[in-house]
Structure 1
Amino acid sequence: MEAIIYLLEITFNALVWILVLRLWLQLVKADFYNPFSQFVVKVTNPMVVPLRRIIPGFGGIDLATLLLAYIVASIKFVVIPLINGGYFNLPESMFLGVLFLVKHSGVLLFIIMLVMALMSWVVQGYNPTQMIFHQLTEPFLRPIRRVIPSIGGLDLSVLIAFILLNVINILISGAIPVWRML
């Protein structure tokens, strides 16, 4: 039973991450022709396009993708408790779905910034993935760079962003029971 729950957790997390990535790529107007962007769009199109026919975008936000990510996040808190032999509470599942979506968006941002920092040490020259990661993280790092400029050529904005994301993660984790976050 634990293996099934583990696989379901990975599936729900991956679906939420890929849907958040699609929404995020659209919001920052990232390069659509980048191979990474193309991968995200092609993987999510079968889920998003049918829903987009019913739910149009609003103000530059793809509401169909946002709603789908929220539904997937909420369903996680219905399916996992039922498989564990417990019960589910629909209002609680909907609330936890919002928290899960916010928390995993922050985790995704953390992972992308970490990979971007590691790539800056290793990759020389142009790399399409590094460019798309830069486009994704720049809206979050730019306000930090305005307050704390680089010191002696060392950019501390990523470190400050890590600390802020960790504080937000701790606050959100306090609102979600530990057994539900596995």
Structure 2
Amino acid sequence: MGIMQSIGVLLTFVLQIYFWMILIRVLMSWINPDPYNPIVQFLVRATDPVLEPCRRILPPIGGLDLSPMLALFAVSMLSNVIRGLFSGGDVGGTMFALGLQLLGFVHIALTLYMLLLLARGGVNIYLWMRYRQGRASMLDLRQPLNRFLFQATEPVTRRLRGFTPTVFGLDITPIVAALLTVLLLTLLEGLMNGGAAVAMGSGGGMGHMSY
């Protein structure tokens, strides 16, 4: 093993440890650990330099902090870049693989968001049916789950609401937004399948890429 490969292995190992540190901090946040514990303090000090910029890029939605997902993905991508560059592999192939991984990450995020939009559409239908029956039909935003669902989907549905007519008083903008998301997912799947076909057809270092 050459010097460059040894450096690559070392950097990759360090990034893998850092990946697990972020993941452990996320898991610990679910159990409210003792903030004065030395291990907890070390994890906070070690991971904040990455998590804080990620929080500015991806602020909390409905009280849910999604920045660790962005941080974990960034560390994983950086690890793959270093592994590809220092192993003497094809730089173009490495960047192509990262592009496919990024598309895969966006695909997963859009799929989750589509499910949220469908859930918001289901809530709208439920409230609309209660309204038609003459019963209370207000969304209780004091409930954390309702508040998260509203805050996560409202930025998109608000923009579509001016162009989407109601159906007998039913707000169908979440369903329309979900359908548009399906179109984006279909486009992404086409790009990913095309990229995978190119990778498989090129053989060599790119033949083993996955996303």
TM-score computed with the length of structure 2 as normaliser? 0.40
Higher-Rg structure is 2
